[in-house]
Chain A
Amino acid sequence: MIVSSYPWWWLALPVLLLPIWWHRQKRQRLKAEPLATARFLPSAPPAQLRVWQWRDKVLLLVRCLLLVALIAWLAATIFPLRGDTVLVDAGADKAWADQQIAAAGFGAASRIDLPPAALQWLRANERDWRPDARFLLIARADQIAMPARVPQFSHQVELRTQSAAHNEPSSDRAAREQQIAVAAPEARGAAWRSLFAAFDVAGGASIHYALNAEPNARTSLIIWDQANVAPPAGWRAPNWWIATAPTAFPELAAATVMTINGIALKYADTPRGRLWTSDAFPPRDAATARALYEAWQLLSSATPSPGYAMPPQTFATARSTLPAITDAKPATWLALVLLALFILERTLTHARRN
């Protein structure tokens, strides 16, 4: 099944008659020489005179394909070719995700990263998938917000979330006491301790920050400040601050950059939690510390988990027609095919002329 965003363009298909007509005309004209006494010769049907028919046929085919490709490109035709797909949250536990994928029978399906606002994205883009394709969404419990109405999909969509028991408590349900684990050499540890002492006082002393050497179940932030040492495998927390060169964290190579309050922050989602790094770790003066505090406050309210998270469930196929396509872009490979056909057509024409 093919979907076109501008199907009216297909009305231009009769243009194909033009090359066909040209080719017929040309064949008749090319092969006849004028001869004054032709009347004394028996007349012949034109079909018998087409000697170079095969070459012209190839050219005709290429020209027709070229026109069809052009029309398809103009009509922004979408070819739903993608099959079963798993959308995996990068922050989800990998082992758990693999187990879920195998359990749902998506072992052979292709995997893509879970985009932000996954349900809306899926709704807008599911036209790219075959009608019989299925989706599996693998995410942490608090990653996907519950929409006000049941989303309508034209494919079967299954959502599996990592239950909160496996996950660390999220920041919005945190108690007034925040558990912080600091792994830093002695000299830098003092700087971190004084920073969180300042955080304690800031904001009306509403939140108390408790520092430990090792994370526990309620730890919301791990400070990692030990150069060239990888953290123990069992350490998990919703957020990590990485203050050293991130050699032990290869995920940070593909980190997203954001600047808040004059502080450049990079973050990446991993199964261990969300890793943050910045040049401002640890802050060297009071102004930077204050900026970092404000940025962190903004962030903890800006990237919270949604108020009402989506529970795991399966959506059956609920709509038969796809939504109107507003920002249709023709497929890139179609443009490449168009270019290739054009080159082929020019080459063949040139070859025939000589």
Chain B
Amino acid sequence: MQAATTAMMAQTKDLELVIRHVLAGLGHGIHAGRERGAGVEFSEYRAYAPGDEWRRVDWKLLARADRYFVREAERDSHVAVWLVLDATASMSEPSREINGIDKLWFARTVLACVAAIAQRQGDAFGLLILSDGKVEFTPASRGPRQLQRVLAAMAKAEPLGQLPSAETLRASLHFARAPSMIFAASDFLDWPSPLSEAVLRLRAMRHDVRLLTLRTQAEVDATFKSGAGYRDPERDDGLHRMSNADREHYKQQSRAHFDGVVASCRQNNIVHYEARIEQPLGGVLRSWLQLAGARAK
């Protein structure tokens, strides 16, 4: 049932539809905002844009001016939310159980939900896509248009190449002056890597860093087809074999690696959540955010 829902969600190109589906009943926010609701202190009117909530439309002004205006409130959430999407070649790893979903799809959808939550809370949010050795940077901003921009950028991301070099990534971290929350979704198969260095650096600068490690069920259980040869999409180190005798070795190696990741995160007080992409998306999102909330207390 869950698998069918996930497979169905993977079929749609409309990220907003998926967000609405996932966020239905997921009422709580990312962080404890100082203000609740939209527009406590009136600041200005703004022309209505698709995506604005109907209850923020000033109906009296509509009667007078025959145009839709939205009451813009003074928001003083100082927290910016940064979404980091890993779109390297290894993120194209598909689920071997549910047709049509892969790690990039899962990461993109989870981050889109986070963006939607941030937008509803009135937070500024920006996006970094790490793909093919480059960083695609969308500056942080507020509002429904920003959400459209971010969703469009994420929908365009293709799993290509490797992570950007440490220098490139460091040059893209100029946003880190203001206090912010960083949500990074990746497979974290490289650790240490330029991304892990950047994450640790941000944490050292007292940003709130939350990592989502994505794996597949087949990776956890080591249930790959044996007898075939495999190659790493990001490394050119020849072929690897998978025989029944290698399963235990594989499990050991991957467990050791991810234990290392978890230890490193705990040591630096970074929120880390490991999910399999076959799990229901809403549940993963909730658990990830709850984990963050628990740490924030």
Contacts and interface: CB of A to CB of B under 8 A. Distances in A.
Interface in B217-273: 219, 224, 228-235, 237-242, 246, 249-250, 253-254, 257
Chain A interface, DSSP helix/strand/loop, else mixed: mixed
A35 interface: yes
A234 interface: no
A38 B246 contact: no
A34 B224 CA distance: 12
Given A32-B239, A33-B231, A40 B187 contact: no
Nearest to A39: B232
A36 B93 contact: yes
A35 B103 contact: no
A34 B230 contact: yes
Listed residue (A32, A40, A44, A49) with the most chain B CB atoms within 10 angstroms of its CB: A40
B166 interface: no
Contact of B242 (A36, A41, A46): A41
Contacts of B93: 34-37
Contacts of A32: 228-231, 239
Interface in A26-75: 28, 31-46, 48-49
B231 A49 contact: no
A44 B240 contact: yes
A43 B238 CA distance: 7
B238 A36 contact: no
A40 B260 CA distance: 14
A329 to B, nearest CB: 50
A36 B187 contact: yes
Contacts of B219: 36-37
B280 to A, nearest CB: 22
A43 B237 contact: yes
Interface residues of B, number: 30
B229 A42 contact: no
Contacts of B224: 35
B250 A43 contact: no
Contact of B241 (A34, A40, A44): A44
Given A35-B232, A36-B189, A44 B239 contact: yes
Nearest to B240: A41
A48 B230 CA distance: 12
A31 B189 contact: no
A36 B95 CA distance: 11
B257 A38 contact: no
Contacts of B241: 41-44, 48-49
A36 B103 contact: yes
Contacts of B231: 32-35, 38
Contact of A33 (B229, B235, B257): B229
Contacts of A31: 228-229, 239
B121 interface: no
Contacts of B92: 34, 36
A39 B240 CA distance: 8
10 contacts: A32-B231, A33-B228, A34-B230, A37-B219, A38-B231, A41-B242, A41-B250, A43-B237, A43-B238, A43-B240
Given A36-B93, A36-B187, 7 more contacts: A32-B228, A34-B231, A36-B103, A38-B231, A39-B237, A41-B250, A46-B229
